[in-house]
């Protein structure tokens, strides 16, 4: 998905969900994240909630309409909330979130494979304090909320079919209270709805929340030489922090990882790409590097 007009509103809560209550809940999650309004804010939260509910009951609900309702209010604080949200609305790829009520371009749940890939995201470094996020970084992280909600709706389909949800850069979801709640719901729902949830992240620390950690069945950790990261991996795997265990992680080779199965058993495994077409499809190496390796192979032969 990109900033093109054809993609407008594809991640708008009112486009993702046909159920009004589901759309309301997601819209409120996104807008409270943008504005920093907490549920215990007895002054601003009801005003934000009221605007979302008013739009949800209209003929063409959208996040853009919520902004309009707030800006047209006679209440100064509601107008201030609207101005705050409009600052995000005017960013380039915000049109994915802020639709115009047209559901004809909505993402379909019944397709066999959905890849939600967003161009030009500016995800902050995982260690960045959320209070220091720029507008673009906050919007980028907020994009993960409707994606997570879409995944939750997706796995609630036909229970007779095994479904897979893979969340790359999962730290962006797990770094917010809204995202952690959605992730916990994904894991819990996955068990009963015949679905597997895969979290892919650069740091084991992102998964150390007890609610998430205790719900993960199988774990895979690749090589790391950072002492803190190694300790976090051992903690995630419930292994003792010994020199022997630390060396196992730091000395893993390309294609190897430490695996823990659902019974808690650990071992080093090696991945082999059995199908060349799949290896090529998921190869993320720069094209220039591939060409160099190809020339080296020709010369060596």
Least confident stretch, 45-54, 90-99, 106-115, 225-234: 106-115
Sorted by where each begins, the domain ranges of the chain are 1-107, 109-216
At residue 197, the 3 state secondary structure works out as strand
- What pLDDT was estimated at residue 115? 73
**What band does 258 get if pLDDT is binned at 50, 70 and 90?**
very high
State the burial class of residue 282 (Cβ atoms within 10 Å of its Cβ: 0-12, 13-18, 19+).
exposed
Least confident of 85-94, 264-273, 281-290: 281-290
Rounded CA-CA distance 114/107 in Å is 9
Tens digits of per-residue pLDDT, 198-257? 988 888 888 877 777 877 889 999 999 999 999 999 999 999 999 999 999 999 998 899
DSSP 3-state of 176: coil
Q: Is residue 181 over pLDDT 70?
A: yes
Strands 195-199, 163-167: pairing is: parallel
Q: What is the pLDDT of residue 2?
A: 53
The predicted structure's pLDDT at residue 70? 95
Q: Which pLDDT score is estimated for 220? A: 95
- Classify residue 218 by burial, with Cβ atoms within 10 Å: 0-12, 13-18, 19+: exposed
Looking at residue 288, what is its pLDDT? 60
Confidence (pTM): 0.66
Alpha helix stretches (DSSP H) within 18-104: 20-35, 44-56, 63-71, 76-89
Arithmetic mean of pLDDT over the chain: 84
Asked if residue 1 has pLDDT above 60, the reply is no
Distance of CA 49 to the CA centre of its chain: 24
Strand partners, 267: 259
Q: How far apart are the first and last CA of the chain?
A: 43
Confidence class of residue 120 from pLDDT cuts 50, 70 and 90? low
Contact indicator for 106, 146 with CB cutoff of 8 Å: no
């Amino acid at each position: 998905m990109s900033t093109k007009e054809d993609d407008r509103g594809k991640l708008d809560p009112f486009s993702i969900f046909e159920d009004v209550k589901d759309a309301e809940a997601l819209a409120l999650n996104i807008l409270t994240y943008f504005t920093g309004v907490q549920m215990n804010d007895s002054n601003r939260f009801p005003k934000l909630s009221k605007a979302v509910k008013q739009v949800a009951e209209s003929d063409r609900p959208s996040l853009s309409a919520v902004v309009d309702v707030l800006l047209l209010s006679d209440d100064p604080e509601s107008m201030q909330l609207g101005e705050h949200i409009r600052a995000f609305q005017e960013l380039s790829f915000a049109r994915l979130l802020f639709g115009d009520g047209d559901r004809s371009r909505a993402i379909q749940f019944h397709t066999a494979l959905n890849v939600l890939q967003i161009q030009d995201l500016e995800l902050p470094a995982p260690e960045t304090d959320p209070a220091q996020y720029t507008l673009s970084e906050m919007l980028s992280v907020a994009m993960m909320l409707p994606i997570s909600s879409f995944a939750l709706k997706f796995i609630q389909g036909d229970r007779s079919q095994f479904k897979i949800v893979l969340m790359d850069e999962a730290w962006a979801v797990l770094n917010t209270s809204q995202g952690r709640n959605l992730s916990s719901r994904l894991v819990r729902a996955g068990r009963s709805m015949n679905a597997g949830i895969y979290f892919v992240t650069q740091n084991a620390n992102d998964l150390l929340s007890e609610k998430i950690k205790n719900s993960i069945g199988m774990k895979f950790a690749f090589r790391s030489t950072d002492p803190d990261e190694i300790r976090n991996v051992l903690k995630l795997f419930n292994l003792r922090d010994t020199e022997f265990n630390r060396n196992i992680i730091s000395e893993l080779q390309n294609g190897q990882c430490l695996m823990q199965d659902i019974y808690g058993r650990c071992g080093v495994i090696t991945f082999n790409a059995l199908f060349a077409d799949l290896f090529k499809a998921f190869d993320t190496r720069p094209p220039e590097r591939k060409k160099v390796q190809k020339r080296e192979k020709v010369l060596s032969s």
